[in-house]
Chains A and B, each alone.
Chain A
Amino acid sequence: GDSVTQMEGPVTLSEEAFLTINCTYTATGYPSLFWYVQYPGEGLQLLLKATKADDKGSNKGFEATYRKETTSFHLEKGSVQVSDSAVYFCALSEGRSGTALIFGKGTTLSVSS
């Protein structure tokens, strides 16, 4: 079945460092891909999305490009801030099987000043 694999955390960075969180997926069709973020004590918030190959989703300085050839959707940010400390979830939705979101395990990011 469909699945999402994220790099293991936690990821610990200093402020202004470059961030990459790897995400790869397995899907039988043409899924839409998402990154959700969970700040401490809060729910899941949509960070960005991409619906077809080569699409780039972006929001709040974060970017991710839908790479069909490598089945990847890596999250990047050029300069992280302390306020970016959170858990980041990669997810896919395969239209053919309905609208259920399939999540990766989540990656904890901790940014220090």
Chain B
Amino acid sequence: EPEVTQTPSHQVTQMGQEVILRCVPISNHLYFYWYRQILGQKVEFLVSFYNNEISEKSEIFDDQFSVERPDGSNFTLKIRSTKLEDSAMYFCASSSMQGSNQPQHFGDGTRLSIL
């Protein structure tokens, strides 16, 4: 079964550094998402992306965050200047069609640790 893959599985970065998290969505999917889960808290929506632009973003997704689809297969989340509170598990997801009843398929996540 096709799956969403994320790299790296664990990223350790010094505070203030830039970090890029990478995702390869399922190949025929058109909608892409990033979520994060701070330890012990809820999984929170960050951003959705379609047709090379952001279609929705949450309050968490401020100017420090950006997303990009640099080629036909990758989808990246960049954090420009990391803060301690950015430490979390980051999940990428993709779906084949828009609409509230279309399931999103998730990757295994990248654990980001900011020192």
A contacts, CB < 8 Å to B: 31-32, 34, 36, 41-46, 49, 51, 89, 91, 93-95, 97-106
Contact = CB atoms under 8 A, between A and B. Distances in A.
A41 B42 CA distance: 17
B104 A101 contact: yes
Given A99-B31, A100-B48, A103-B42, A46 B101 contact: no
Contact of B100 (A45, A46, A93, A104): A93
Interface in B9-45: 31, 33, 35, 41-45
Contacts, number: 68
Contact of A103 (B33, B43, B56, B100): B43
Contacts of A95: 99-101
A18 B33 CA distance: 35
27 contacts: A32-B100, A41-B108, A43-B6, A43-B91, A43-B106, A45-B106, A46-B104, A51-B101, A91-B43, A93-B100, A94-B100, A95-B99, A95-B100, A95-B101, A97-B56, A98-B55, A99-B31, A99-B56, A99-B95, A99-B102, A99-B104, A100-B33, A100-B58, A103-B42, A103-B43, A105-B41, A106-B42
B105 to A, nearest CB: 7
Contact of B43 (A41, A89, A99): A89
Interface of B: 4, 6, 31, 33, 35, 41-45, 48, 55-56, 58, 91, 93, 95, 98-109
Nearest to B35: A101
A33 to B, nearest CB: 10
Contacts of A93: 100-101
A46 B35 CA distance: 15
Given A32-B101, A49-B103, A51-B101, A43 B48 contact: no
Contacts of B42: 103-106
